[in-house]
Amino acid sequence: MTLPTTLSAPLAHTPVLDHGFLELWNMLGADQTIAASARVSLSRELASLTDHTDKQAERDRGLINRLMRDRHTSPFESVVFQWRVRAPIFVARQWFRHRFSSFNEESGRYVELQDEFYVPDQLRVRVGKAMDYQYVDMEAEQNAQFRARIEALYHDARTLYEGMLAAGVAREHARIVLPVAQYTTFIWTVNALSLMNFLHLRNSPHAQAEIRAYAEVMEAVFAERLPWTHAAFREHWGAGAV
């Protein structure tokens, strides 16, 4: 069995929403790394890293399942992912609430932001009371009217932004006219434990649809790269509520 190590190049570029994307840039560790991290307390860590027999794999998978079940979580911090994300600012601001990780974002102070804004195909209407509601699609004609007005607003904001830049206004001031639908790019470095917390909350039926679109892609990559850990995660942790 060959253990995954740090990636030499980004994995496949996955489009998300209308102008967004998600890429896994780097990854350190594998399921066996988590098992070894747990076994170090008994000075048995090398078994998980050097014994590639089916019997050892069965032991390690069982250990990971028990760690997840009993919430012995620190070994999961030994695997690290690094993602490159392009998302609307309002999605990024939800993402940045996950503070047990590291973010580096493109700066509107130093670069001219691209002319890319998120326009939803279908606007949602909230039905019900606070904490007990659901969403339904807006009626087609009204949806089309609002989408046209949104696009016009974006056009006006972009025109003003570019006009201010052309007049010599500093980028850090000119950007204030851009809406939160403006796309931004950031690098997210996160260990497997914090990633599972993100997926628990953001790949949940209760999460906002736009951030869940990213979480769905991310969880598919997580399941591919850490299959034993992902299976235990879904069995004992699963989706949450936000």
The DSSP secondary structure of 119-182, one letter per residue, reads --SS-EEEEEETTEEEEEEPPHHHHHHHHHHHHHHHHHHHHHHHHHHHTT--HHHHGGGS-TTB
pLDDT in tens, 157-195: 999 999 999 999 999 999 999 999 999 999 999 999 999
Q: What is the rounded distance in angstroms from the CA atom of residue 155 to the CA atom of residue 177?
A: 11
| Per-residue confidence band for 2, with pLDDT thresholds at 50, 70 and 90 | very low
The type of residue at 218 is: M
Arithmetic mean of pLDDT, 124-129: 89
| Whether the Cβ atoms of residue 89 and residue 157 lie closer than 8 Å to each other | no
Residue 64 makes CB contacts below 8 A (sequence gap 6+) with: 31, 34, 35, 228, 229, 232
What is the per-residue pLDDT for 1? 36
202 is catalytic: yes
| Per-residue confidence band for 209, with pLDDT thresholds at 50, 70 and 90 | very high
Residue 8 has pLDDT above 70, yes or no: no
Which residue of the set 61, 158, 202, 225 is catalytic? 202
Laid out side by side, the sheet with 183-191 consists of 14-16, 20-28, 80-88, 183-191, 102-105
What is the per-residue pLDDT for 30? 96
Q: Which fold has domain 14-107+183-236?
A: Gyrase A; domain 2 (3.30.1360)
Percent of the chain with pLDDT over 70: 93
Residue 69 has pLDDT above 80, yes or no: yes
| Whether the Cβ atoms of residue 206 and residue 131 lie closer than 8 Å to each other | no
For the chain, which residues make up each domain, given as ranges? 14-107+183-236, 124-177
| Whether the Cβ atoms of residue 64 and residue 236 lie closer than 8 Å to each other | no
The type of residue at 23 is: E
Number of C-beta neighbours around residue 193 at 10 A: 19
What is the chain's mean pLDDT, rounded?
Answer: 91
> What is the pTM assigned to this prediction?
0.90
Q: What is the rounded distance in angstroms from the CA atom of residue 186 to the CA atom of residue 106?
A: 6
pLDDT in tens, 91-125: 999 999 998 899 999 999 999 999 999 999 999 99
Q: Which residues pair with 132 in a beta bridge?
A: 129
Q: What is the rounded distance in angstroms from the CA atom of residue 185 to the CA atom of residue 207?
A: 21
Residue 178 CA to its chain's centroid (Å): 23
What is the per-residue pLDDT for 239? 65
